[in-house]
Structure 1
């Protein structure tokens, strides 16, 4: 293996931190106050857009002519530091991984940079690939994966993907990547290794390497 791709939200930190709930509120507010969607329709539309397009943003682009950059700036305008703290053990664990380390997220680069700063993970990752990498098309669609792999110049079979989303790992496995699921719950057959938290990823690498 040559590279390891890390998801960001609910992967590098525990979902118990409830950071995404702040973003969730901003998405609902954007749909109501900026796009003008009646409050009674917001939840139903979000569920439909998630099912059809993977993220709310794609539905808003396709059906409401929303400016994606305006949306990304608005929904990620949250107080990250109110939910996250520096994670020294995670920093040490990630530094022990000799592979090329990259972030691959459906969020924005700005949001990713703020999260990494709050966790004390500055300068740990070589690059951040965000929702813009494939014209706002998100994981689990294969296009952003191909764009990331093309950008780093590495074949899928030489990459690992670390995620809290089983659907995103399904695409990774279909492309030939090694897969590491972070979190509790059932382990699908296409997941190679499951860990409770990202700090345990170096241990999971024993699945591919005799020694880490």
Structure 2
């Protein structure tokens, strides 16, 4: 194994921090005020775009001619420090991890930077792969996974994927990655053969990585 790929939101920090509630408000506002979509249609469109493309952004690009950079800058302009604080346990884990760590997220680089800084993790990631990695195609589309492997010059079997979303781990497993589900628990996880391990929080991953490296 040569690399650990960490999702960002609800993976590096607990879902209970609810950062997405801040972003959610700005997505709706962008659709209503910038794209001029009728407020009554916003929720339905968002559900449709998530089901069809994995992200609201792809539907807005395809059907509304939205500039993806304008969208990303707008929706991620939130004060994450109001909900996040230094995570010394996670910092120690990443500092001692025997493999290089990367962020792999459907968010933007500016959002990554804000979250990483708020958690006190600056300088601990070897790189960041954001929504721009494969022309704004989000996980679980295969494009960004393949692009990351190409850029790192690694095979899927050489990577560990750490995520809170089962569908993203399923795709990671299709590429041959070791998969770790992070969170307070998913009732489906024990029946998912594409989940190799489950942890309450990312800070607990050090011992698991050591075990896999020794195996």
Q: TM-score range by the shorter chain?
A: over 0.9
Q: SS of 1:131's equivalent? A: coil
* Structure 2 equivalent of residue 48 of structure 1: 48
Q: Give the length in aligned residue pairs.
A: 211
* Structure 1 equivalent of residue 57 of structure 2: 57
Q: Return the alpha-carbon distance in structure 2 between the equivalents of residues 163 and 58 of structure 1.
A: 21
Task: Check if 1:102 corresponds to 2:106.
Answer: no
In angstroms, what is the RMSD of aligned CA positions?
Answer: 1.0
Deviation at 1:207, TM superposition (A): 5.0
* Structure 1 equivalent of residue 74 of structure 2: 74
* Structure 1 equivalent of residue 207 of structure 2: 203
Contact kept? 1:72, 1:108, Cα under 8 Å: yes
Task: Check if 1:185 corresponds to 2:191.
Answer: no
* Structure 2 equivalent of residue 117 of structure 1: 117
Deviation at 1:96, TM superposition (A): 1.5
TM-score (norm 2): 0.96
Gaps of 5+ in 2: none
Deviation at 1:100, TM superposition (A): 1.4
Deviation at 1:210, TM superposition (A): 3.0
TM-score (norm 1): 0.97
The 5-angstrom pairing of residues 88-167 of structure 1 reads 88-167=88-167
Q: After alignment, is 6-15 or 92-101 more displaced?
A: 92-101
Q: SS of 1:22's equivalent? A: helix
Deviation at 1:18, TM superposition (A): 1.0
Contact kept? 1:182, 1:195, Cα under 8 Å: yes
Gaps of 5+ in 1: none
